[in-house]
Structure 1
């Protein structure tokens, strides 16, 4: 089933300005631009219920391949086709693979920080901010592993360059948004970036998307991860 609204599965709509909405699950009221065509709204916290489990899962993970780790995360029941959970998962997958590939990192502390930072990026940031949360998550990953702060020098630069690289890859493909595609693109850019700038070689498995049947806005052969690309080869 192609899922969009978590309540009724109807398509989502994106408004041009904020409107006060009430979450159908926790009944919190807040301003948002996103709801389904039937008027249902689910806040980011409710949308990401269960994501705290990722810290424990990542600490037990042994793979040095962030794509492999991300795929396992995306197969979990709390991960939806689209949503702000991807803003946390991209960075967590990269942190875990980085550590397992020989990176010097307090993984438990880093994962907790990634969880906090990633949650701060709302759903729809890709369209409303001009910065996809998956790409920002890759930049957060580099910021965390290099210890960047607003007063940093080289690590400050590296964090911005990582974010720019991920967002450029996302922009080159164009829209409409796909949280799976943009997460994969961000991770692939991060694997190359970390090898070049931090000297850590993470593994990179082939990506063939299995989510097109669940995405109402799938771009088909324009997507570099589409199975249709393989049939052309």
Structure 2
């Protein structure tokens, strides 16, 4: 039995191969199996690593909601419940959504640069270094948007403040790690900075965790993104 990596429904075997569009990257190819809910992953996305799937989705998606982009990527089979891949995800999801909203000219070079910066943050930084990689990725997004560097004034301060705001959201929850909570909170921090400080006309975001109750350290009702189903 083959199951859909996105909704976990059993795939339907077709009588003959037909064209399907990859839910992750938008590529079109022939397939003998399809998800009853219309999901499909192409061969290249099926074999992709965490970094590769972040790149493939963020460079090709038409989705305008960064939470939806992040949720899609985190459902890929290569994505771990916890791990360094979340450090690359936040900035990529936010910048891809802004590009699709035609808010900012975000090209492929900026997107791949954001992913590479996030890749440098080590595993377990939240517990050993006092900073969460997903939160740093929020700062990366603002750094890309403002062309910040260590010699600039307002741009540098805004980049640092965005990471700090994301970290504060984590401390308000408390408890052990949750990379999903960290990802959602960091995306919201980027959205708040872009809206309030950079005067971008961004749509409001709504967050409900797609992984609630599944992860070992899930905070359940304590988490603001948890909703009983």
Question: Aligned runs of 1:65-214 on 2, under 5 Å?
Answer: 65-214=65-214
**1:201-220 Cα distance to aligned partner (Å, 9 max, x none):** 33344322232333111111
Residues 66 and 202, structure 1, Cα contact 8 Å, conserved in 2:
no
2:64 paired residue number: 64
**1:192-232 Cα distance to aligned partner (Å, 9 max, x none):** 2111111223334432223233311111111111123xx7x
Deviation at 1:55, TM superposition (A): 2.1
Counterparts of 2:202 and 2:93, CA distance in 1? 11
Counting matched residue pairs gives: 182
Residues 64 and 202, structure 1, Cα contact 8 Å, conserved in 2:
no
Residues 51 and 78, structure 1, Cα contact 8 Å, conserved in 2:
no
Deviation at 1:59, TM superposition (A): 2.1
**1:101-147 Cα distance to aligned partner (Å, 9 max, x none):** 23333420111111211011111111111111111100010001111
Residues 55 and 108, structure 1, Cα contact 8 Å, conserved in 2:
no
Deviation at 1:163, TM superposition (A): 0.7
Counterparts of 1:204 and 1:65, CA distance in 2? 9
Counterparts of 1:209 and 1:106, CA distance in 2? 27
Counterparts of 1:106 and 1:205, CA distance in 2? 20
1:221 paired residue number: 221
- Could you say which structure has the greater relative contact order, defined with CA pairs below 8 angstroms and 6 or more residues apart? 1
Q: Which runs of 5+ in 1 are unaligned?
A: 1-47
Residues 92 and 114, structure 1, Cα contact 8 Å, conserved in 2:
yes
- Please provide the CA RMSD for this pair: 1.7
- The TM-score with structure 1 as length reference comes to 0.73
